[in-house]
Amino acid sequence: MDFFTAFLNSLPGAVGQGLIWGMIAMGVFITFRILDIADLTVDGSLVTGGAVAALCITMGWNPWAALLAAVLAGMLAGFVTGFFHTVCGIPAILAGILTQLALYSVNLRIMAIGDSAKTKATLAVSVDKYDLLVSARYIRDMALNNPLVLMIVFTVVVIALLYWFFGTEMGSSLRATGANPNMARAQGINTDFCKVLGLVVSNGMVAMGGGLLAQYQGSSTIDMGRGAIAIALAAVIIGEVLLSKVFRNFALKLLSSVIGAIIYYVVITLVLRLGLESTDLKLLTALVVAIFLTIPYWKGKYFSKSVRKEVSQNA
């Protein structure tokens, strides 16, 4: 019974984390599902978002302005990956890895701005000292400063904005680029521009998630983005596996990534309660992603007939 109570007590925290990672997962959905690019920039741009937000807040900025700065920094990171990929002709995966690697150095520098040290791996933003948008401190409070309130608002607004954008001419050309680049070019769509734009938007969202995460946990750390792409993919895929039959609408598909992220963190909370160490989680995450990516592949390979129908229906 104690176990159950403790688990229930930690549920709000899991949902809070899930909502923040839902933002990151929606960013990854754009590159992974819409553009068909596995963008590994994410591990770095998440930290960049966290670092920039934390830095700006410690410099006395308004937290909204700090979050905006974080988003812009993430968009810049996405642009760099897009530049490597389209202008320099580097394969997308490698382009992302290069940016991510470069960002490691950049992020250490960002967090040390205004400090006597030249590089810094942690930058604290305590809710005692600064005005923050979200903080884990209030996660169980029945009040408006509960981070869940703002995160739900954020999620709804971001889904609405993305839904609108992907219905516009520009958004449609982005979807066409991911669906069939040959056709897109034949219809006069600049596929390189679309890829860069998608990477910019995606990493802007990831950095926003990073900026929120830093505030939520009270610090920005250099390794907070390690494996972020895998966690975000896990969220996207869990959401799809569980909800793709019910959620056909684009907005609902985005929502399923958020729900996937929440489920992911609830499960993580559970296994931590069961005695797993937090350092074991990367292994667990990798396995979850591997398994959920394997299932559709094997289904296609060994039961191709029934699955092909399903794929085209869900596509």
Partner 1 sequence: MLEIRNIRKTFNAGTVNEKVALRGVDLTLNDGDFVTVIGGNGAGKSTLMNAVAGVYPVDEGSITIGGVDVTGLPEHRRAKYVGRVFQDPMMGTAATMQIEENLALAARRGQGRGLRVGINKAEREAYRTLLATLGLGLEDRMTSKVGLLSGGQRQALTLLMATLKKPKLLLLDEHTAALDPKTAAKVLETTETIIQRDKLTTLMITHNMRDAIAHGNRLIMMYEGRVAIDVSGEEKKKLTVERLLAMFSEVSGSDEADDKLLLS
Measured N-to-C along each axis, helices 250-273 and 147-165 cross at an angle, to the nearest 10 degrees, of 150
218: DSSP letter: T
Q: Based on the shown chain and the rule CB under 8 A, indicate whether residue 176 belongs to the binding site for partner 1.
A: yes
Among 107-115, 134-142, 174-182, 215-223, the segment contacting partner 1 (CB under 8 A): 174-182
Contact flag: residue 204 with partner 1 (CB under 8 A): no
* Interaction between residue 254 and partner 1 (CB under 8 A): no
Instruction: Kindly state whether residue 175 participates in binding partner 1, applying the rule CB under 8 A.
Output: yes
Q: Is 293 a binder of partner 1 (CB under 8 A)?
A: no
Choices 13-21, 24-32, 118-126, 172-180; region in contact with partner 1 by CB under 8 A: 172-180
Q: Say whether residue 31 binds partner 1 (CB under 8 A).
A: no
What 3-state DSSP class applies to 216?
Answer: helix
- The answer to whether the CB of 122 falls within 8 A of the CB of 220 is yes
- Bridge partner list, 221: 122
Regarding 171 and contact with partner 1 (CB under 8 A), the answer is: yes
Give the β-pairing of 219-221 and 122-124: antiparallel
Structure tokens at 281: 């989680």
Does 167 sit near partner 1 (CB under 8 A)? yes
Q: Is 306 in the site for partner 1 (CB under 8 A)?
A: no
DSSP string, 110-153: HHHTTSSSS--SEEE--TTTS--S--GGGTT-SSTT-HHHHHHH
15's CB contacts (< 8 A; 6+ apart) are 148, 262, 265, 266
Stretch that binds partner 1, among 49-57, 106-114, 132-140, 160-168 (CB under 8 A): 160-168
Token pair listed for 66: 């700090």
Nearer to partner 1, 283 or 311 (CB): 311
Judged by CB, which is closer to partner 1: 188, or 275?
Answer: 188
State yes or no: residue 179 binds partner 1 (CB under 8 A): yes
Give whole-number Cα distances, 140 to 9, 175, 211, 258, in Å: 8, 40, 21, 20
Q: Is 169 in the site for partner 1 (CB under 8 A)?
A: yes
Q: Which is nearer to partner 1, 40 or 184 (CB)?
A: 184
Q: Rule CB under 8 A: which residues touch partner 1?
A: 165, 167-173, 175-176, 179-180, 182-191, 312-313, 315
